[in-house]
Structure 1
Amino acid sequence: MNALEKEKTTRIFGLDVIRALAILLVLFSHAYYLIDSSNPMVISLSGLSGFAGVELFFVLSGYLIGSILLRQYITDNFSLQSIFIFLKRRWFRTLPNYYLILLINLGIAFFLGYPSQNWYKYFFFFQNFKTYSISFFSESWSLSVEEWTYILLPFSLFFVLKFGNKLSKKWTFLSTILLLIVLAHILRYFNMKNSNITNMEIWNTNLKSIVIYRFDTILYGVLLAWLHLFYAHFLDKYRVYFLILAAHLFVLQFVILNVLEVDIISCPVYFLVFYFTLSSMIFFLTLPYFIFWKNSQSIFFTSVTFISKTSYAVYLIHYSIVIVIFKYILNQLSYKLASSLILLIYFGITFSLSYILYRFYEKPIMNLHDKN
Structure 2
Amino acid sequence: MHVDYKHRIFGLDVFRALAILLVLFSHTTLLLFPNKESFVLEVIKFFGAIGVDLFFVLSGFLIGGIILKQIHLNKTAFKDFGYFWVRRWFRTLPNYFLILLVNIILYFIFFRKVISGIGHYFLFLQNFSEGQADFFTESWSLSIEEYAYIIGPLVLFLLLVFFKNSSKDKLFISSVVVIICLVTFLRFDFHLNNTLTSDHHWSKELRKVVIFRIDSIYYGFIGAFFSINYSTIWKQYKVWLFFSGIFLFFVMHFLVFWYDVKPINAPLFYNIFYLPLVSISLVLLLPLFSNWNHAHFFKREITYISILSYAVYLINYSIVLLTIQYFINLSNASIVTKVGVLIVFWFLSFYLAYLLYVFFERPFTNLRDSKFIKDKFN
Which TM-score band (shorter chain)? over 0.9
Distance 1:290 1:18 in 2: 7
* Partner SS, residue 71 of structure 1: helix
Deviates further, 257-266 or 81-90: 257-266
Cα distance between partner residues in 1 of 2:343 and 2:194: 43
C-alpha distance in 1 between matches for 2:240 and 2:205: 35
Instruction: Report the RMSD for the aligned CA atoms in angstroms.
Output: 1.9
Query: Is 2:9 aligned against 1:12?
Result: yes
- Aligned residue for 2:135, secondary structure, equals coil
Per the TM alignment, residue 101 of structure 1 is displaced from its structure 2 partner at its CA by 0.3
Matches within 5 A, 1:1-372: 7-36=4-33, 38-113=36-111, 116-296=115-295, 298-331=296-329, 336=334, 337-372=336-371
Which range is displaced more, 55-64 or 36-45? 36-45
Counterpart Cα distance in 1 of 2:248 and 2:2: 39
- Any idea what the Cα deviations from partners look like across 1:274-315, whole Å, max 9, x if unmatched? 11111101111011110001232x230011011001000000
Residues 1:329 and 1:66: Cα distance change in structure 2 (over 3 Å): same
User: Structure 1's 158 and 227: CA in aligned 2 closer, same or farther, altered over 3 A?
Assistant: same
Measured against aligned partners, the alpha-carbon deviations of 1:22-55 in whole angstroms (never above 9, x if no partner) come to: 0000001111221126141233123212211000
Deviates further, 190-199 or 158-167:
158-167
SS in 1 for 2:126: coil
Provide closer, same or farther for how the CA distance between residues 165 and 187 of structure 1 changes in structure 2, counting only shifts above 3 A: farther
Q: Where do 5+ consecutive residues of structure 1 fail to align?
A: none
Structure 1 residue 15, shift from structure 2 partner: 0.5
Quote how far apart the aligned CAs of 1:215 are: 0.6
More off after superposition, 163-172 vs 305-314:
163-172
The 2-side partners of 1:78 and 1:158 are apart by 7
CA distance in 2, matches of 1:39, 1:206: 23
Residue pair 2:104, 2:114 contacting (<8 A) in 1 also: no
CA contact (8 A) 1:239 1:289 kept: yes
Could you tell me which residue of structure 1 aligns to residue 374 of structure 2?
A: none
2:330–2:338 Cα contact (<8 Å) kept: no
Tell me how far apart the structure 2 counterparts of residues 268 and 34 of structure 1 sit (CA, whole Å).
30
Which amino acid in 2 is paired with 1:60?
L
Query: Structure 1 105/178 Cα, relative in aligned 2: closer, same or farther at 3 Å?
Result: same
C-alpha distance 112-254 of structure 1, shift in aligned 2 (>3 A): farther
Counterpart code for 2:105? G
Q: Select between 195-204 and 352-361 the one with higher mean Cα deviation.
A: 195-204
In structure 1, the residue corresponding to 2:197 is in which secondary structure?
A: coil
The letter for the 2-side match of 1:54 is V
1:83·1:154 contact (CA, 8 Å) conserved in 2? yes
Give the whole-Å Cα distance in 1 for the aligned partners of 2:190 and 2:331. Answer: 46
Could you tell me whether the CA contact under 8 Å between 1:139 and 1:316 is conserved in 2? yes
Distance 1:187 1:335, change over 3 A: closer
1:117–1:135 CA contact under 8 A, matched in 2: no
Give the number of aligned pairs. 368
Aligned equivalents of 1:366 and 1:144: distance in 2? 19
Q: Residues 235-276 of structure 1: CA distance to partner in whole angstroms, max 9, x if unpaired?
A: 111111111111111212322222112222442211111111
Give 1:115 shift. 6.0
Identity %: 39
8 A Cα contact 1:31 1:46, kept in partner: no
| Cα distance in 2 for residues equivalent to 1:330 and 1:364 | 35
Are the aligned partners of 2:32 and 2:330 in contact in 1 as well (CA < 8 Å)? no
- The CA distance in 1 between the partners of 2:176 and 2:8, in whole Å, is 26
Amino acid at match of 2:60: G
Pair 288,334 (structure 1): closer, same or farther in 2 beyond 3 Å:
closer
Please report how far the alpha carbon of residue 217 of structure 1 lies from its aligned counterpart in structure 2 after TM superposition.
0.2
172-181 vs 18-27, greater mean Cα deviation: 172-181
User: Counterpart amino acid of 1:36?
Assistant: F
Distance 2:337 2:39 in 1: 20
State TM-score, norm by structure 1.
0.94
Kept in 1, the 8 Å contact 2:312–2:353? The answer is: yes
**CA separation of 1:333 and 1:246: change in aligned 2, threshold 3 A:** closer
Structure 2 residue identity aligned to 1:345: V
- Residue identity opposite 1:233 in structure 2: T
Is this contact kept in 2: 1:246–1:282, CA < 8 A?
yes
User: How far apart in 2 are the matches of 1:215 and 1:196?
Assistant: 22
Secondary structure of 1:132's match?
coil
**Segment drifting more, 206-215 vs 248-257:** 248-257
Q: Which amino acid aligns with 1:72?
A: Q
Residue 375 of structure 2 aligns with which residue?
none
Amino acid at match of 2:83: I
Mapped to 2, the partners of 1:223 and 1:231 lie a distance apart of 11
What is the rounded CA distance, in whole Å, between the counterparts of 1:135 and 1:48 in structure 2?
A: 19
